[in-house]
Structure 1
Amino acid sequence: MALKSRNRYARRRKPRSFVRLFLDLALAIAILAALAFVAGHERFGTAETRSGMPQVVDGDSLTLGGARLRLIGIDAPELGQTCVGPRGDYPCGRQARNALAELIGGRPVTCEARRRDRYDRLLASCKAGGVDLNHAMVERGWAVAYGDHDDAERSARDAGRGLWAGSFERPQDWRRIHGGMAEVSHDGLSAIGDWLRSLFQGKMSGQGTDGGETG
């Protein structure tokens, strides 16, 4: 009798385990949704604007007023990267940098950033003389979509512009093989990750400040 009672008790517990799993999953989804809401409406609600004459670092990076800026939503070949074009190998990383410099055309740029990446670079949308540099670099084929500008990438690929005139490794794949700064696509999930990282760093920084004052 005791054995039968334990078996009946075990059978009754199984539905509870399933319900508990469902509730845990629902809670996890709710937490992620809350983080996404906060990331989209609070942390990134106020933009930081920078203007001036930039220094072009590579096809997707600028230095402006002492700040490092990474063009958000795009990924250009690394400076040392080579690609294959109609006439053979060529330094596509340097060509991408030249393409960005040409788009800027010696004009001042205005950049708007709402967050920073893991390397403390401002992830920014930049314009020069009304030209959207992020979009134009992808549309001209000298950068690929990296969380945004998918339509511009399709247009460049279909027309065979820039990198698409030949063959190339996507910059993230090239970095993985040849070494470089590991990056993630600038999509919504990475935005949440950057936000959480900034909160953690800010908390640790605050704790350090308090300790210094009391020491």
Structure 2
Amino acid sequence: MFFASKIIAKEEIISYTNITVIDGDTVKFNNKKIRLHGIDTPEIKQLCKNTKNENYKCGVKAKLALINLINNNKIKCLIHGKDKYKRLIGTCFIKNLNINAWLVKNGWALAYRKYSKDYINQEIWAKKNLMGLWQGEFLEPWKWRRK
């Protein structure tokens, strides 16, 4: 489990299961779009290679991982501020489970070092254990977006 530690939040938003998963690192509820803090997942149109060197829609897989994790649970997000697209930036939880950390540790997100060092250990673990994206080949989402 990943627990909240030293998270400084400006506000707390609680959802009562009416959650829309936009992509692997963005959710929407209570008319607010929240970008998950400190992580980056493949884009919906992004392709990666699996263990058989076949293309698969890794952005879709990351989104499905988040959908399956949330699975009608109530989530709480601690909001840190806004990004350049005016989305709220948040660390989100199901009870005490840090969703951001879970996505990285399960290999469906990368630690977004440009903005945070919070999830580097989870990324190292996922890579070592060949979790999610780490089972094959992929381009980091921030590099893929620049293509």
TM-score (norm 1): 0.60
Q: How many residue pairs were aligned? A: 134
Query: Which segments of structure 1 move beyond 6 Å, counting only runs of 4 or more?
Result: none
Which structure has greater helix proportion?
Answer: 1
Kindly state the Cα deviation for residue 60 of structure 1 after the two structures are TM-superposed. 0.3
Of 66, 70, 91 in structure 2, the residue corresponding to residue 104 of structure 1 is 70
Counterpart of 1:117, as a letter, is D
Counterpart of 1:49, as a letter, is E
Of 63, 79, 97 in structure 2, the residue corresponding to residue 113 of structure 1 is 79
Kindly state the Cα deviation for residue 45 of structure 1 after the two structures are TM-superposed. 6.1
Q: Is the 8 A contact 1:110 1:126 kept in 2?
A: yes
Of 77, 97, 110 in structure 1, the residue corresponding to residue 42 of structure 2 is 77
Q: Is the 8 A contact 1:50 1:64 kept in 2?
A: no
Per the alignment, in what secondary structure is the counterpart of residue 101 of structure 1? helix
Pairs within 5 Å for 1:185-200 = none
The structure whose Rg is larger is 1
Q: Is the 8 A contact 1:70 1:121 kept in 2?
A: yes
Kindly state the Cα deviation for residue 103 of structure 1 after the two structures are TM-superposed. 1.3
Gaps in structure 2 of 5+ consecutive residues: 1-6
Of 3, 6, 13 in structure 2, the residue corresponding to residue 50 of structure 1 is 13
Q: Is the 8 A contact 2:104 2:126 kept in 1?
A: yes
Per the alignment, in what secondary structure is the counterpart of residue 100 of structure 1? helix
Q: Is the 8 A contact 1:126 1:133 kept in 2?
A: yes
What is the CA deviation profile of residues 42-71 of structure 1, one whole-angstrom value per residue up to 9, with x for unaligned ones? xx9652111112111110000011111000
Kindly state the Cα deviation for residue 129 of structure 1 after the two structures are TM-superposed. 3.2
Kindly state the Cα deviation for residue 85 of structure 1 after the two structures are TM-superposed. 0.5
**Cα distance in structure 2, aligned partners of 1:141 and 1:45:** 25
**Cα distance in structure 1, aligned partners of 2:96 and 2:57:** 29
**Cα distance in structure 2, aligned partners of 1:135 and 1:81:** 22
* Identical-pair percentage: 35
Counterpart of 1:51, as a letter, is I
Q: Is the 8 A contact 2:126 2:134 kept in 1?
A: yes
Which structure has greater strand proportion?
Answer: 2
Per the alignment, in what secondary structure is the counterpart of residue 62 of structure 1? strand
What is the CA deviation profile of residues 175-215 of structure 1, one whole-angstrom value per residue up to 9, with x for unaligned ones? 000xxxxxxxxxxxxxxxxxxxxxxxxxxxxxxxxxxxxxx
Counterpart of 2:65, as a letter, is A
Of 153, 158, 165 in structure 1, the residue corresponding to residue 128 of structure 2 is 158
**Cα distance in structure 2, aligned partners of 1:45 and 1:91:** 35
Per the alignment, in what secondary structure is the counterpart of residue 49 of structure 2? strand
**Cα distance in structure 1, aligned partners of 2:96 and 2:72:** 13
TM-score (norm 2): 0.87
**Cα distance in structure 1, aligned partners of 2:79 and 2:99:** 14
Counterpart of 1:82, as a letter, is L
Pairs within 5 Å for 1:3-152 = 47-52=10-15, 53=17, 54-87=19-52, 88-146=54-112, 147=116, 148-152=118-122
